[in-house]
Amino acid sequence: MPRVLLLTQYFPPEIGAAQTRLFELGQELSTLGWEVEILTALPNYPTGRIFEGYDPRNPVKEVLGRLSVVRVPLRPAQSGFVNRLMCYFSFVRSVVRWGPKLCAKPDILFVESPPLFLGHAGLSLSKHWGVPIVFNVSDLWPESAKYMGVVKNRLVLAGAEALELSYYRRAALVTGTSNEIVESVRCRCPTTDAEVITNGVDVERFGPQFADDEARFLLGDQDRITFTYAGVMGMAQGLGVVLDVAAAVRDLDLVQFVLVGDGADRESLRCRVEVENLHNVRLLQAQPKERIPALLAASQVGFHVLKFAIPGAVPSKIYEAMASGLPILFAGGGEGARRVLDARAGLVVPYEDVRGLEEAVRRLVSSPELRQELGRAGRCVAEKLYNRKEIAKRLHRLLLGVMNGGVSLENDSSSKEE
């Protein structure tokens, strides 16, 4: 039985796109015959505090589903770029220290980026065990930091890009969650194999049939048409635009906007709702991932926001909305917008166009037929292209190809969409 070690800083019980994707991919790889071990941090995201029940100073081994999980200490960061860097570096040191002692030797190492610096820890473990690395890129860094204005120094950006490319070149395979990510890697590192492994969704866990009374109670007034966002409330999302739209449609008594989650911007959003007296906005605490299908099923529209046009950025929550049969209102651009449009699953408006978003809200509210049409199309595409089981089978074939000394998908029909 082949063994794979997934190295990632973020993993359940933390809530987030990477956490859910890696957990579900690990579960599916286990079903496909892999022994899967996870090397990750003590849970702390996004609060910046080690979760209750974990000793901040000591590693721990546990079992989550069918996965063996090794958690190692790090220095959590609540806010600030420098603090986040220190957090990343502390995890790298911890991985290098504890990984060889606590983890079994794998046949292949799967390293999740970001954070980019985890590539250093991956190379160290690869050298120690003499095994190949697959470097998975879910966010181009430092490209995303440059687009968001987090890093502006040209020398720092150049140094970070050189580091990024050094990791790609030393990997047996680079996988990316979007076409733009993989195209960037192929362009800059033509000698490195690179393949698309999109994010996806367990289509069997989502759908209108999963609505329940608890979800309806959380969302509030069921006589209203609910636009729901569930995810991280951070800089990249720019959820302030949702409040702008909410203010613009105050006259629509049949509409409410529900924001579910946690993150750096949550408190500022709460203050705006209170100061501006936005009675059509509800802020809910982050919910366990097991409750998300019911919350979406009890909603009428999925509202997804991406403030920065970061190359390769695709909000993973669009796939959950599609699987739930929810029409999507997407504020943003780039590949995420194109995937929504290609699926005919929703309306897309540029992030900064509040008037256009207002008109889209009014259009969706006034036309149940449009909502149904978009929702059905999204569900169909989720089943066909973004089914987590099929995505895991594609990754399974790629990993076997790396183990056998090469990567080949010549007969893989699932790659044609990419």
Q: How far apart are CA 246 and CA 226, in angstroms?
A: 12
Mean pLDDT in each 10-residue stretch from start to end of the chain (418 residues)?
A: 97 89 96 97 91 96 96 88 90 97 97 95 97 95 78 84 94 96 95 95 95 94 91 86 97 95 90 96 92 96 90 91 98 95 98 97 98 98 96 97 73 44
Question: What kind and span of H or E run contains 104?
Answer: none
Say if 3-200+387-415 and 203-385 have the same CATH topology: yes
Provide the CATH topology of domain 203-385: Rossmann fold (3.40.50)
Question: Under a CB-based contact definition with an 8 Å cutoff, are residues 395 and 197 in contact?
Answer: yes
Sequence-distant (6+) residues with CB within 8 A of 168 are 135, 174, 185, 188, 189, 192, 194
Q: Which pLDDT belongs to residue 417? A: 46
Question: Under a CB-based contact definition with an 8 Å cutoff, are residues 184 and 140 in contact?
Answer: yes
Relative orientation angle of helices 354-366 and 368-385, to the nearest 10 degrees: 100
pTM of the model: 0.87
Question: Under a CB-based contact definition with an 8 Å cutoff, are residues 409 and 415 in contact?
Answer: yes
- Tokens for 375, please give them: 């929702």
Looking at residue 414, the DSSP 8-state letter turns out to be G
Q: Which pLDDT belongs to residue 211? A: 95
Strand partners, 70: 39, 61
Q: What is the pLDDT of residues 125-166, one digit of tens each?
A: 999 999 999 999 998 887 887 777 777 888 888 888 999 999
What's domain 3-200+387-415's superfamily in CATH? Answer: Glycogen Phosphorylase B; (3.40.50.2000)
- Tokens for 302, please give them: 């999925």
Q: Where are the domains of the chain?
A: 3-200+387-415, 203-385
